[in-house]
Amino acid sequence: MTLRKRISNLQWQEMFSLKSIGRYALSIFLILPGVLFLFLGFQWLVAPESGASALMMPLLAGAGLNSQISDIGGLFLGMGLLVMGAVTTRKGDLLFSVAVILSCIAVYRVLAFSLHDATLPMQSIALEVVLAIWFFVASRILSEEAPKDA
Amino acid sequence: MPKKPRSQLQKLPLMAACGALAFNSITFPATGTNLDSYMNRRGPTEQPNVVLILADDLGFTDLGSYGSEISTPNIDRLAEQGVRFSNYHTSASCAPSRAMLLTGVDNHLAGVAGIPESIPPEQAGDENYQGALSNNVATMASILNEEGYHTYMVGKWHLGKTEENLPYNRGFERTLSMADTGADNWEHRPYLPMYDHAHWTRDGEEIRLEEPFYSSELLVDEMIGFIDSNLDDGQPIFAYVSFLAVHIPVQAPKEYTDMYMETYVDGWEALRDTRHAAAIDIGLVPDSDRVTHDFVDDWASLSEEEQRFEAKRMAVYAGMVTAMDYHVGRLINYLEEEGELDNTIFVVTSDNGAEYSSLTPGTIDRMGYTHNYEDLGEIGSTNYIDKNFANAATSPLSFFKFYAGEGGLRVPLIITGPGIDKQEDFNNAFAHVTDIAPTILAMAGIEQPQGRFGGREIEPMTGKDLTPILDGSSDEIYQADDYIGYEVAGNLALFNDGYKLVLNRGPLGDSEYYMFDFVNDPGETKDLKAENPVRFQHMLNLYQRYAEEDGVLPVPDHYSQEMEIALKMVQKQQGDAIIIYTLVGITMVVFALFGWQRKRLVN
């Protein structure tokens, strides 16, 4: 039996309704940064020198190297898993967590610049702020649609 | 600091003396009169210290005493007191040169047919093509150490990264070594994406260097520390200082670069002219022509801004040479202050001719480097000279590093110290990199091992003892029937009786054989193969014999050393990327399956 035959007309209408298209679009725009986070997380595990280079930092040795790989790699991997989990389960709280983490990172970047004369990487901050806002918005959307799906 | 345990022989001097005497009579038969002559000339003095200074990619005319505009007063001071060779040849690639330098054996027989980064898969299984020093050779450090020398090594090693191949396990008591082709001079980081990290080790243990440092300063500091730690025990010293200068990344402290900001504004053609004239003037080369390579760009075709940038690139290069010289001076001064200078032999040379490099903006970005005019060669900034200025750094010779032209193979060699006659003019005798180890052993009064060393069979040294040249008792060591073959990455040469057979592959060579009179025509301008076909055939036959005797394998069709290195860099990056994307893909599939299952349950 073909897939087409298995799906009723009602289901077809539901699949191509505006609401469904919006859900797919939301998923795609969440999956893209999620994949990026996963990539960065695994990059720190497989090729930490590339990860360090991408973040404009030297690769440390010994315990410092361990902290670099685990803290930074774990952070990206964790965020990637949360985003993918949110897409899969449609739970907005997971995205909210990622948004909070990204916001904290952006605030700390500004504080590092202000208090310790660290270089201010404007591009990174801009990306983090944009993603944090997007995840806040997406978490609201998912939260609003959750009761209907439940 | 960890101390390498000394051998039983060294712990028991009296037994050692007796044992060594008996052992030597069996294993080390006397090999000639050169050693006796040199030692008689020196008289019954203590064994000399030996300081072997190896610059990386230093061109034929990059030293002041070799006609350069670059200031190298300390090395020049050594040159003034000893012998400057005008006709010394090495390999055109770093690792093969280093293998021959330390063992006195052809690089193929020593397992280092080429740099490991350039060996194609077709050759990689052969024992001569491991890119790491084989166990069938003994380094002169091992031999000297066995005979009571303290042996210290700092700097670039590039003869293997595995534990058994590190210098600490190849005859050096104390080491601070870097195993790759090069590394950053300011920070503990690699300079090319093919390396995970900069492989620095101290006494065999991988370490992280304290930053920032400057490589030449760091290496000399470390060497002085090594020497100082055992200075009072009366044992002679073998110190191998293998600078990172002036290998890519070409980096120098600003104050040294500033010395040359106006020096190269007239471009590479003017520099090649100037150095050629100076080389003739000081007697480094005969009054002869030089090649003008088609691949050299026209300086005048560059915009003012491009000229300014190129001139600064070369200024950093010159600054790096001068900085290295300054730190050589610190080592000389230290030995002088400690009263060791008069009993110290210095050997100063380069592993090959000047290097031409080319880094893409993508590679520079990927490595996190800048490449801007303002801070060129300073911390965080990579730099290199390309084929144009490299061609000037080897003036008046043809080609440069990697190529078998004289610019790749012929480099400075200075030997000075006790028992060595000061020679005002350049010594024009042919000399080869495999001669250095036998010469140092002879100057130390130590016979070469014949076939066995350290309980294993080894390749006997094929280089010749140069001491008859150093003490003025002979003009030439190599006779008309002697020949020296050379092959790395398919570029090949053969030296015999004043003639040179040479073939250079692409991208800059044409894969054609040429024959030159390299004594009277060092610029390799006049091909003699049509004029003297009998000799040409003889040279081809000798090369064939060399290739068979030393296990030279043919390179695959369309092989290019540069392409092989580039391919390995891409493979390294893509290999990591494939693993990362696979992990991401697996994660995505797991989530997709989870989502699908969840949806089924909900429905």
Residues 311-370 of B with CB under 8 A from A: 366-368
Burial (0-12, 13-18, 19+ Cβ within 10 Å), B64: buried
Measured between beta carbons, the chain B residues lying within 8 angstroms of A49 are 190, 195-197
The answer to whether residue A91 is domain-embedded is yes
Residue B9 has, within 13 A of its CA and on its CB side, a CA count of: 16
Domain B483-549: give its CATH architecture.
2-Layer Sandwich (3.30)
- Report CB contact under 8 Å: A61, B188: yes
From the candidates B94, B247, B276, B327, give the one annotated as an active-site residue: B94
Q: Rounded distance, CA B223 to CA B238, Å?
A: 11
| Average per-residue pLDDT for chain B | 90
Task: Select the highest-mean-pLDDT range: A20-24, A31-35, B34-38.
Answer: A31-35
Q: Is B63 helix (H, G, I), strand (E, B) or coil?
A: coil
Q: Identify the bridge partners of residue B466 per DSSP, sorted by sequence position.
A: none
Question: Which tokens hold the place of A46?
Answer: 């497989």
Residue B32 has pLDDT above 50, yes or no: no
The answer to whether residue A1 is domain-embedded is no
Q: In terms of Cα–Cα distance, which of A53, A26, A59 is closest to A40?
A: A53
pLDDT category of residue B11 using cuts at 50, 70 and 90: very low
Burial (0-12, 13-18, 19+ Cβ within 10 Å), B327: buried
B583 inside 8 A of chain A by CB:
yes
| Whole-number pLDDT of residue B27 | 33
Q: Rounded distance, CA B411 to CA B241, Å?
A: 17
Question: Which tokens hold the place of B408?
Answer: 């790749």
Question: Which tokens hold the place of B494?
Answer: 């053969």
β-pairing verdict for B499-503 and B513-517? antiparallel
pLDDT in tens, B321-337: 999 999 999 999 999 99
Measured between beta carbons, the chain B residues lying within 8 angstroms of A68 are none
The residue ranking higher by pLDDT, A95 or B38, is A95
pLDDT in tens, B412-455: 999 999 989 899 999 999 999 999 999 999 999 999 998 899 88
Residue B105 carries which DSSP code?
A: S
| Whole-number pLDDT of residue B140 | 97
Residue A17 has pLDDT above 80, yes or no: no
B207 inside 8 A of chain A by CB:
yes
- Report CB contact under 8 Å: A53, B367: yes
Calculate how close chain A gets to B208, using CA atoms only, in Å: 6
| Whole-number pLDDT of residue B358 | 84
Q: In terms of Cα–Cα distance, which of A99, A114, A109 is closest to A55?
A: A109
| Whole-number pLDDT of residue A12 | 61
Residue B43 has pLDDT above 60, yes or no: no
Among A47, A53, A81, whose Cβ lies nearest the Cβ of B368?
A53
Q: Rounded distance, CA B100 to CA B434, Å?
A: 5
pLDDT in tens, B85-130: 999 999 999 999 999 999 999 999 999 999 888 888 888 888 999 9
Burial (0-12, 13-18, 19+ Cβ within 10 Å), B4: middle
The total number of structural domains in chain A stands at 1
| Whole-number pLDDT of residue A13 | 63
Residue extents of the structural domains in chain B: 31-470, 483-549, 560-603
The answer to whether residue A4 is domain-embedded is no
Residue A111 has pLDDT above 80, yes or no: yes
Domain B31-470: give its CATH architecture.
3-Layer(aba) Sandwich (3.40)
pLDDT category of residue A148 using cuts at 50, 70 and 90: low
Measured between beta carbons, the chain A residues lying within 8 angstroms of B195 are 49
Q: In this structure, are residues B398 and B406 in contact, taking their beta carbons and an 8 Å threshold?
A: yes
| Average per-residue pLDDT for chain A | 86
pLDDT in tens, B363-375: 888 788 999 999 9
Q: In this structure, are residues B235 and B148 in contact, taking their beta carbons and an 8 Å threshold?
A: yes
Measured between beta carbons, the chain B residues lying within 8 angstroms of A88 are 591-592, 594-595, 598
Sheet holding B513-517, edge to edge: B483-488, B491-496, B499-503, B513-517
Q: Is B452 helix (H, G, I), strand (E, B) or coil?
A: strand
Q: Rounded distance, CA B214 to CA B599, Å?
A: 61
Question: Which tokens hold the place of B386?
Answer: 């390309």
| Whole-number pLDDT of residue A52 | 84
Residue B520 has, within 13 A of its CA and on its CB side, a CA count of: 8
The residue ranking higher by pLDDT, B119 or B152, is B152
Q: In terms of Cα–Cα distance, which of A48, A112, A44 is closest to A75?
A: A44
Q: In this structure, are residues B244 and B185 in contact, taking their beta carbons and an 8 Å threshold?
A: yes
Task: Select the highest-mean-pLDDT range: A50-59, B123-132, B202-211, B494-503.
Answer: B494-503
- Report CB contact under 8 Å: B196, A47: yes
B4 inside 8 A of chain A by CB:
no
Residue B94 is a catalytic residue: yes
Measured between beta carbons, the chain A residues lying within 8 angstroms of B197 are 49, 59
Helix residue ranges, H only, B483-560: 533-549
pLDDT in tens, B166-195: 999 999 999 999 999 999 999 999 998 888
**Angle at which helices A18-46 and A74-89 pack, to 10 degrees?**
160
Best to test chain A binding among B188, B379, B583 (most A CBs inside 10 Å): B583
- Which domain does A68 fall in, by range? 10-149
Q: In this structure, are residues B200 and B206 in contact, taking their beta carbons and an 8 Å threshold?
A: yes
Residue type (1 letter), B9: L
Burial (0-12, 13-18, 19+ Cβ within 10 Å), B407: buried
| Whole-number pLDDT of residue B44 | 44
The answer to whether residue A79 is domain-embedded is yes
Residue B25 has pLDDT above 90, yes or no: no
pLDDT in tens, B262-311: 999 999 999 999 999 999 999 999 999 999 999 999 999 999 999 999 99
Residue B371 is a catalytic residue: no
Q: Rounded distance, CA B64 to CA B71, Å?
A: 6
The answer to whether residue A3 is domain-embedded is no
Q: In terms of Cα–Cα distance, which of B363, B580, B591, B590 is closest to A37?
A: B580
Residue A70 carries which DSSP code?
A: I
Calculate how close chain B gets to A150, using CA atoms only, in Å: 8
A147 inside 8 A of chain B by CB:
no
Best to test chain A binding among B205, B206, B580 (most A CBs inside 10 Å): B580
- Report CB contact under 8 Å: B588, A84: yes
Measured between beta carbons, the chain B residues lying within 8 angstroms of A27 are none
Calculate how close chain A gets to B245, using CA atoms only, in Å: 22
Q: Rounded distance, CA A83 to CA A94, Å?
A: 7
| Whole-number pLDDT of residue A131 | 95
Calculate how close chain B gets to A45, using CA atoms only, in Å: 9
The DSSP element (H or E) to which B442 belongs, if any, is helix B436-443
| Whole-number pLDDT of residue A145 | 76
- Report CB contact under 8 Å: B595, A47: no
Q: Identify the bridge partners of residue B100 per DSSP, sorted by sequence position.
A: none
Helix residue ranges, H only, B197-356: 215-229, 254-258, 267-281, 304-337
pLDDT category of residue B203 using cuts at 50, 70 and 90: very high
| Whole-number pLDDT of residue B45 | 55
Residues 538-577 of B with CB under 8 A from A: 573, 576
A58 inside 8 A of chain B by CB:
yes
Residue B497 carries which DSSP code?
A: T
Burial (0-12, 13-18, 19+ Cβ within 10 Å), A139: buried
Among B187, B211, B598, whose Cβ lies nearest the Cβ of A88?
B598
| Whole-number pLDDT of residue A60 | 78
- Report CB contact under 8 Å: B188, A80: no
Q: In this structure, are residues B260 and B352 in contact, taking their beta carbons and an 8 Å threshold?
A: no
b/e map B251-270, b = 16+ CB within 10 Å: bbbeebbebbeeebbebbbe
B36 inside 8 A of chain A by CB:
no
Among A35, A49, A87, whose Cβ lies nearest the Cβ of B197?
A49
From the candidates B89, B108, B150, B158, give the one annotated as an active-site residue: B158
- Report CB contact under 8 Å: B591, A85: yes
- Report CB contact under 8 Å: B594, A42: no
Write out the DSSP string of B133-178: --TT---HHHHHHHTT-EEEEEEE--S--SGGGSGGGTT-SEEEEE
Question: Which tokens hold the place of B104?
Answer: 């006195």
Nearest CA in chain A to B184: A58
Q: In terms of Cα–Cα distance, which of A129, A139, A61, A65 is closest to B206?
A: A61
pLDDT category of residue B38 using cuts at 50, 70 and 90: low
| Whole-number pLDDT of residue A149 | 45
Residue B588 has pLDDT above 70, yes or no: yes
CA B444, B448, B452 angle in degrees (round to 5)?
140
Among A58, A84, A88, whose Cβ lies nearest the Cβ of B188?
A58
Q: In terms of Cα–Cα distance, which of B414, B341, B428, B351 is closest to B64?
A: B414
- Report CB contact under 8 Å: A149, B602: yes
Say which residues have a Cβ less than 8 Å from residue B311's Cβ, sequence separation at least 6: B261, B263, B264, B265, B267
